[in-house]
Amino acid sequence: MGAILTFLFVATELLVLLYFVKWKKSPLYKLPTVGGFFFPLLSYLGGLNTLFRGKRLLQYGYRKYRGRPFKIPLLSGWVVVVSNPAVMEDIRTRPEDQLWLTQALMNAFPSYHVTGKELWENTWLHDLILKDLTRSIGAMLPDLIDELEVAAQEFLPGDGDGWVSLNPSKASEDIIVRAINRGFVGFPTCRNKEYLDLVAQYSHGIVTAWASALIFPILLALPLSIGRFFNAAPNAARKCTQLLKPILTERRELLQRKLEGDDSVQVPIDVLQMVVEEGVARDYSDERIMIRIMSTNLGALHTTSMSLTNALFDLAAHPEYAQPLRDEIAPIVAAEGWTKQALHRMWKVDSFLKESHRYNGMGVLSMLREAMTDVVLIDGTVIPKGTIVGVPTFAIHHDKEKYPDPHTFDPFRFARLRAQDGNETRHQLSTTGLDWVGFGHGRQSCPGRFFAASELRAVLAYIVMNYDLKLEGGGPRPKNFFFAVGLVPPPSGRILFRKREAAS
Ligand code: HEM
């Protein structure tokens, strides 16, 4: 008995020793650390610290190490933060078998114990959104504007209501979920309350899965069936599939007739139809198709509605910018209507949205990529397999060498840049770059950014033309706060809206 205990004791000591040797030899050991201790278990405490101070820590690291890499702890593990343009360029061009966004998202926001890994790893949806959806924006716009008008009548004040106080986060979500889903599932499903509630329940289930897996990482070891049992998302997906069964059947039949060469068939132009076509080719069940629609909503809704919320706060805090925007929008719409080309010509509207995004932020890290193998970056930094690398979005967007007077909200700064010779197509909200990483950058950047930019331009232009806005109780606008790596718009801030007379 004594010999066994001695053996166990020595074996344990050896294992601990090996662990420490491995830890000290890790390439991460040599990188400067911000916001925690690079020590087993203590790094988890560092991750808790980052939850509350992530933005400040990243700005501190950015200023202190100026272009040199450093590491910061998240609850899910270490992130190597890089900001040297040459290194960012290197990351941008790395293929997915070296640095992969999906793998990074899967581990930084884990929910695969609920969704299964297939949903994440099979990334055809990225190309569908980037190519098919982007190509269809022009055709979708008349419907989108129609939805916007109906949603505005429902959620914003009408003629003669005077000034009405609204929570802009709620108003933005109500409007954006409808406008987005007009493009995702078409009319009348985009107005079906039961469908919209199930989409919200799915998102809530996935966010709960992230949060619980970060707090109790042991959950990730659960067999899929157990994870699914406790979470609301799978149930919401099942119910949504049942609710939309007749539509899914009709879409499959339309596709079948089209494939059989029936030229009279006109398939709807929406994401549901695109996903049905891809899903049929892959022999997907209705539920697998629906899950794609619900996860597209998850990626699209809160990002877009938070951008709109911030833009509305900025407009309410600076009502003096409404007139220059109207002076731009009115003649364009009078000449061309609400077309995709017309929205493209609204440089000031686009600039306002981009500046609002830059100034307020959305996430403090982007271009997250997980090393699929040991990767040596162009500056010699080694990213060990399984480690995430990312760029400090907020810090880059507030660097005075990139953006003069970065802490001032200057809504038309990008429109002025575009007005310079040769710059017409640059500096747009959807054009990513080394100085503009709000949608990430490179081949793996946000595939929905063109759709989001068109949608946001349409909604903001419509609201500016039809409503006056001001902050309830006067300025300055209430501050956003950041939690973990994301932004939380001011929950209690309110805006007064008034329908304009003779608005067009
Ligand atoms: C203002 C709105 C939006 C913002 C700020 C935003 C931002 C982002 C960012 C930062 C990424 C990671 C890219 C990277 O790190 O390089 C991303 C990925 C993604 N976004 Fe967006 N997004 C927005 C709207 C949308 C919309 C409308 C859709 C869908 C129509 C969408 C679908 C996606 C998807 C599917 C991914 C993951 C891509 C992949 O795994 O390959 N996003 N987004």
Whose alpha carbon is nearest atom 17 of ligand 1? 446
451 part of a folded domain: no
181 contacts 203 by C-beta, under 8 angstroms = no
Same domain, 22 and 68: no
Q: Which of 371, 366, 367, 396 lies closest to 381 in space, CA to CA? A: 371
Structure tokens at 291: 């899950």
- Beta carbon of 136 within 6 Å of any ligand 1 atom: no
Q: pLDDT at residue 16 above 80?
A: no
Contacts of residue 147, Cβ cutoff 8 Å, sequence gap at least 6? 178, 179, 182, 187, 190
Identity (one letter) of the amino acid at 373? T
- Beta carbon of 366 within 6 Å of any ligand 1 atom: yes
Same domain, 20 and 35: no
Same domain, 21 and 39: no
Given this model, what pLDDT does residue 12 score?
Answer: 67
154 part of a folded domain: no
Same domain, 46 and 19: no
Same domain, 53 and 105: yes
Same domain, 78 and 8: no
Q: pLDDT at residue 504 above 60?
A: no
Same domain, 16 and 48: no
36 part of a folded domain: yes
- Beta carbon of 307 within 6 Å of any ligand 1 atom: yes
Can you tell me which residue has the tokens 């718009």?
A: 489
Q: pLDDT at residue 118 above 90?
A: no
8 part of a folded domain: yes
- Beta carbon of 123 within 6 Å of any ligand 1 atom: yes
Span 193-211, pLDDT tens digits: 999 999 999 999 999 999 8
142 part of a folded domain: no
Same domain, 105 and 58: yes
Given this model, what pLDDT does residue 122 score?
Answer: 84
Same domain, 11 and 73: no
For the chain, what is the domain count? 2
Question: How many angstroms does the Cα of residue 449 sit away from the middle of ligand 1?
Answer: 7
Residues in the chain: 504
Whose alpha carbon is nearest atom 21 of ligand 1? 446
Reported as a pLDDT band with limits 50, 70 and 90, residue 17 is low
Range of the domain at 9: 1-26
Span 353-396, pLDDT tens digits: 999 999 999 999 999 999 999 999 999 999 999 999 999 999 99
Span 228-279, pLDDT tens digits: 788 999 999 999 999 999 999 999 999 999 999 999 999 999 999 999 999 9
Structure tokens at 1: 């008995």
35 part of a folded domain: yes
388 part of a folded domain: yes
Same domain, 16 and 35: no
202 part of a folded domain: no
Greatest CA span in the chain, whole angstroms?
A: 93
